[in-house]
Amino acid sequence: MRRQFKFYQLSVLALLLLLALTNFSISKAQDKKKNEQVRREGTPVMWREPSDIATRDLFLGSGGETLKPDLSRITLIEKEKGGWSTKYRVRDGSGREWVAKIGEEAQPETAAVRLMWGVGFFADIDYLVPSVRIEGLDKTLENVRFGARPKEIKRAGSWQWSNNPFTGKREFQGLKIMMAILDNWDLKDDNNTILAVRNDNGENELRYVVHDLGATFGKSSGAIWQKTRSRNDPAGYAKANFIDEVKNDRVDFHFHSKLNKLFDDITVEDAKWMAHWLSQLSDRQIEDAFRGANYSSEDVKLLAGAFRERIKELVALKKS
């Protein structure tokens, strides 16, 4: 009798597991179908000429003062799954939802997003909150990146570095150069997002964004498994080499990532195009990007100086 009961229990558990797996598969299939439908409803865009580049506020970023989180009350919704950093989905005092990221990636990601937006690339709306208490966690967190999750912006899945509508186009070459400048060595498709947005003209756009920019402003030399790689390392970023050489009109960056071959086709002309936009950022704007990420005055000076030097290297490139 006991053996029969045990067999019955195992059968029930197996059935429940099968139902859970089935529901998970159905849910994933529905999400994929929904994402594919959204992708057919907009025009893919990755970059837009920043005609107002000189007046862009890199301290507050693309969200400006208007979209800053209301810190009067922050409540926990749930802990987010996946990723290298700890993240929480939260609701602010005005009822808007955010993803709060803590740890080493919070500051560099906030600065990187501002610099990407500054030169015309689409990026997330991020803010760095120096200190915040989240109801439901019952503790105060330091240096928290608040990433906006507006209801009107749909996330339509990820996009691939090796296969996307912009392969070979100038903006994609520029995007890769920006990854080298930021030292974003953690390049993978899962870190890319397509944002479905209705623009100011009422048209549907699919904005191709590098969503996770946390593994930046460190050093990236050596193999992916070696300890020479770092994130949020101002001294390491300032000391790291940027360009090794130009050979056969191809720029050889000292930068190493998980997708090294992706950078084999960058020409001097590509670099000059990106340098044209980057060189229009003022020293104040570049410094503001790091101030907005709550870096110390010493680190702001170090990071901004190193970033400016990399721009100068691009400007000075000549064909071999």
Of the candidates 187, 179, 188, the residue with the CA atom closest to the CA atom of residue 266: 179
Least confident of 34-48, 59-73, 131-145, 303-317: 34-48
Instruction: Check whether 39 has a pLDDT greater than 50.
Output: no
Mean pLDDT for all residues in the chain: 88
pLDDT of residue 22: 53
Contact by Cβ (8 Å): 126, 76: no
Instruction: Check whether 294 has a pLDDT greater than 90.
Output: yes
Of the candidates 204, 148, 170, the residue with the CA atom closest to the CA atom of residue 46: 170
pLDDT of residue 107: 98
- What is the average pLDDT across 203-217? 95
pLDDT of residue 34: 43
- Give the separation between CA 301 and CA 299, rounded to whole angstroms: 5
C-alpha distances out from residue 95 to 89, 147, 150, 234, Å: 12, 14, 11, 35
Query: Exposed, middle or buried, 262 (CB in 10 Å: 0-12/13-18/19+)?
Result: middle
pLDDT of residue 24: 45
- What is the average pLDDT across 210-220? 91
203 vs 130, which has greater pLDDT?
Answer: 130
pLDDT of residue 36: 47
Instruction: Check whether 269 has a pLDDT greater than 80.
Output: yes
C-alpha distances out from residue 26 to 12, 32, 95, Å: 21, 10, 31
pLDDT of residue 12: 56
Instruction: Check whether 7 has a pLDDT greater than 60.
Output: no
Instruction: Check whether 103 has a pLDDT greater than 90.
Output: yes
Q: Which two tokens stand for residue 175?
A: 């995007």
DSSP string, 254-270: S---TTGGGGTT-BHHH
pLDDT of residue 230: 86
Instruction: Check whether 19 has a pLDDT greater than 80.
Output: no
Q: Is domain 58-148 in CATH 3.30.200, yes or no? A: yes
Least confident of 88-97, 162-171, 226-235: 226-235
Contact by Cβ (8 Å): 148, 124: yes
What residue spans define the domains of the chain?
Answer: 42-53+153-315, 58-148
Instruction: Check whether 210 has a pLDDT greater than 60.
Output: yes
Which stretches does DSSP call E strand in the chain?
A: 43-45, 75-79, 86-91, 97-102, 126-134, 139-148, 154-155, 192-198, 204-210, 243-247, 250-253
pLDDT of residue 170: 97
- What is the average pLDDT across 21-45? 55
For residue 17, name the pLDDT band (cuts at 50, 70, 90): low
- Give the separation between CA 266 and CA 281, rounded to whole angstroms: 22
**For the chain, how far is it from start to end, CA to CA, in angstroms?**
84
Question: Which residues lie across from 208 on neighbouring strands?
Answer: 194
For residue 82, name the pLDDT band (cuts at 50, 70, 90): confident
Sign for the CA dihedral angle at 187, 188, 191, 194 comes to positive
Return the C-alpha torsion angle 282, 285, 290, 294, nearest 10: 150
pLDDT of residue 139: 84
Taking only the tens place, the pLDDT of each residue in 108-160 is 999 999 999 999 999 999 999 999 999 999 889 999 999 999 988 999 999 99
Contact by Cβ (8 Å): 262, 187: yes
> In percent, how much of the chain has pLDDT > 90?
74
158-160-162 Cα angle (round to 5): 180
Phi then psi for residue 34, to 5 deg, are: -65, -45
